[in-house]
Structure 1
Amino acid sequence: MNFVPSDPDPTPGSAEHGFSPFFSTSDLTAATPSGVSPNVSSPSMTSRPDEFMLSQDYLSYREELRSLIFHTAQSAAPTRQGSPAGADEVKLTHELHNGHLQSHRDTARILSIGKRVFYLRNYVEQVASWLDMFDGDRVFGMQIPSLAQTSPPLLYAILALSARQIECKEKRKNSFDSLELYQEAIRLLAPLLVDRDVKIIPICVILCCLEMMSASAQDWRRHLEGCAALFSTFGVHGFSGGMLQAVFWCYARMDLCGALISDGTQCTLFQPSRWLPAGTEAHEARSLFRASQNPDMHANYSVWLCAKTCKLISDRTRYNELAEQNGCTEEVFTNRWLALWDELQVWLGTRPRELHPVKTAETKPFPQILYVHWAAISSNQLHHTACILMLDSMPKPLKLTMNLGMAGSTLWHAKWVCGISLSNPHQGCINNAIQPLWLAGRLLSHRSEHEIIIKLLRSIESTTGWGSCWRIPDLESAWGYKVRKSGSNAAS
């Protein structure tokens, strides 16, 4: 397909949006102040914590879980080792599917209380699609709810996450269902952690996702550390196979978001080299990802490349600004930059047809790009995000000698980041778009573009419950003005 840039200087009267699932045509046609939704106070997790976050019970249980996870990770070895060959995956599935009759009775009792069946249905219909967006086998939507029938801690974990999503989405006050379920999940999880049982991994990742919904952006890495330690201890990585592989990639996307939040100062907690099987060299990754012949794995390849981009930039930042002796000299950085840029372009050129858009339209101020495959949405957006980061850090000598064509325009990539989110309403993908939209939004100069991005960020939060409005003041600071409640602009 041919990539054509949109007009870099759009005018308010030139919008031609025809199939944006987020906004009606009247919302966007003129991109005038009257088309902007009323401003609401940002429920920024950094400044307006709710009762869940402020609860001493939550804080104490969160620290207890963290302590138990690290104690498990520091143990000599897990009772049941993870296996790339999938042997323990089969064992794990067998154990959970063939639990004792008492476990079935326990889960029936759990679901008989209050609104728990409603929370389970919401998990399957809404939340699981976030976690499964790069997984056609739908491990979180189909396998894990089935396995939870004989695993009370797993059942409590998915109920807690679902309840928390509803509380955040509806901004419920004095609702503590998620806290009660979270506490019970940890209570029942503790013996499994002590036994260093591999079935703790999906439970801990789901609880980690709940904590991400409730954490300030600056505190994300603290919540991610425990799962990273477990993956290391159990030898789980992006090619472990089966359920554990799907769980790993769900965590990897959260880890990448944390790296993007750091704005070039930090890499992922779980280093990209450890996302591959032990002993795999970096140059072998391309063939390893492509060997699977699976569009989901090619999408995961985009996540890995974006993580490598964060790693490259953070290495250079720390070498220059903190005098960290990590070997990222100017020459080394330039060579790594060239190799990674080439890999990013190869990713784009070798995408399977499932990851190509089914429709594109060069409308203003943003192009419209529609995908039908879930994994295509975020993987393509992450590609453009990585390219923005790469171009922003491009070595000066290369700027004078390389002609990158359209791919060398940060503005073009930024508009595609925004266009992808505007055209594709999948909840998991718009959740994962918050940091890409922040990076892209900073590059845009026209007020009609700014209004649309702010409206999009508000829509993400109201649609999914995932905090996104905290990025609005950051964007307004970068633009030099605020968008008022009425949609009028005020100089800072």
Structure 2
Amino acid sequence: MVATILLSSYELLAFPGSNYRRHFKGAKSLVEALGAHQSSDRMTRVSFWIYVRHEVGEAMNIECKTMQDPKIWPKALLSETPIANEDIYCNDALRLCGEVVCFIFGSDVRRQGKKWAKEWSGLQQDLDDWLRESPKVLAGNEYMDNGSRRFWFPRFAFASALCYYHVSRVFLFLHQPRATLQTPDQPINADEKVQYHARELIDIALSGMPDSVLVTMVQPMYHAARWVNDPSRREEVIALLEQIQGKTGFHTESKVLILKSLRVLSS
């Protein structure tokens, strides 16, 4: 299973195309055959969450639902999780992002109704719960660097988890249902929410992350840059994506071309 995941990882570095999907389907088959999501073996569980990160990243890349249903992935009982076990919080952010991606990109928007709106609200509540129950250290410390807002994290995995959290919010507010369950005196301004979460995500990604973490942020960063209204932040993302491909070989060129085309349209 680990070897197959590594093969698909190398393919993703080059270009996330059909060959990557072929090997990744093999990884999915092994994950399911081993029941990796509920294995008692620690190494198998760790490998499973690496697989999940690939699943969610590729689903965001081609804007479709994940191959495996995220609802079967282990759901953490955060209220009962020791603060020292931070990986559980990070994995749960990934799981929630997978559920949001499947909900948004696996739904027929023409069939939105009360049930769809209720599920939308339920996912928003799950994200609220995750943020509330996560240790405060996970949010990082904000500081200013030459007039730019940046964040310091005691563990870079926290930064990655927050990026999954923020991109999940972006996806949900971009697809706010017409029958949103809200009180009349507390209307939700979806565009303001999209801008807030997109800016937060981009500022986190620009906060001096190591290469190993930056590659996990490529898809969330790209989606944030697509929708952020601030052209200077989009330009910073373009520069960072180009830097990532130059330093790591991780394919970002197609994303950069799309973001540059937005620059032309806005001008």
CA contact (8 A) 1:367 1:416 kept: no
Structure 2: 5+ residue runs without aligned partners? none
CA contact (8 A) 1:204 1:227 kept: yes
The alignment partner of 2:151 has SS state of: strand
CA deviation string 1:373-420 (max 9, x = no partner): 122010001100000000001102328745458996111111111111
CA contact (8 A) 1:360 1:368 kept: yes
Q: Distance in 1 between matches of 2:216 and 2:97?
A: 13
TM-score computed with the length of structure 1 as normaliser: 0.49
Identity of aligned residues (%): 21
Moved more, 455-464 or 245-254: 455-464
2:69 aligns with 271
CA contact (8 A) 1:418 1:440 kept: yes
Relative distance call for 1:299 and 1:210 in structure 2 (3 A) is same
Relative distance call for 1:290 and 1:249 in structure 2 (3 A) is farther
Count of paired positions: 263
2:36 aligns with 236
CA contact (8 A) 1:357 1:370 kept: yes
1:301 aligns with 92
CA contact (8 A) 2:53 2:94 kept: yes
- Structure (1/2) with the larger helix percentage: 2
The alignment partner of 2:36 has SS state of: coil
Relative distance call for 1:407 and 1:447 in structure 2 (3 A) is closer
Of 378, 385, 388, 2:160 maps to: 378
Paired amino acid for 2:164 = L
The alignment partner of 1:297 has SS state of: helix
Deviation of the 1:343 alpha carbon:
0.6
1:357 aligns with 140
1:20 aligns with none
Of 113, 116, 125, 1:333 maps to: 116
Relative distance call for 1:214 and 1:303 in structure 2 (3 A) is same
Of 172, 179, 184, 1:397 maps to: 179
Matches for 1:54-453 after TM superposition, within 5 Å = 201-217=1-17, 220-237=20-37, 240-263=40-63, 266-276=64-74, 285-287=75-77, 290-293=79-82, 294-317=85-108, 320=110, 329-361=112-144, 367-398=149-180, 401=184, 402-404=186-188, 409-453=193-237
Paired amino acid for 1:312 = F
Q: Distance in 1 between matches of 2:146 and 2:22?
A: 41
Moved more, 337-346 or 403-412: 403-412
RMSD: 2.7
Q: Distance in 1 between matches of 2:192 and 2:228?
A: 16
Q: Distance in 1 between matches of 2:38 and 2:156?
A: 19
Q: Which has the larger radius of gyration?
A: 1
Relative distance call for 1:312 and 1:215 in structure 2 (3 A) is same
Deviation of the 1:337 alpha carbon:
0.6
Deviation of the 1:426 alpha carbon:
1.9
TM-score computed with the length of structure 2 as normaliser: 0.88
Deviation of the 1:261 alpha carbon:
1.1
Structure 1: 5+ residue runs without aligned partners? 1-200, 277-284, 321-327, 483-490
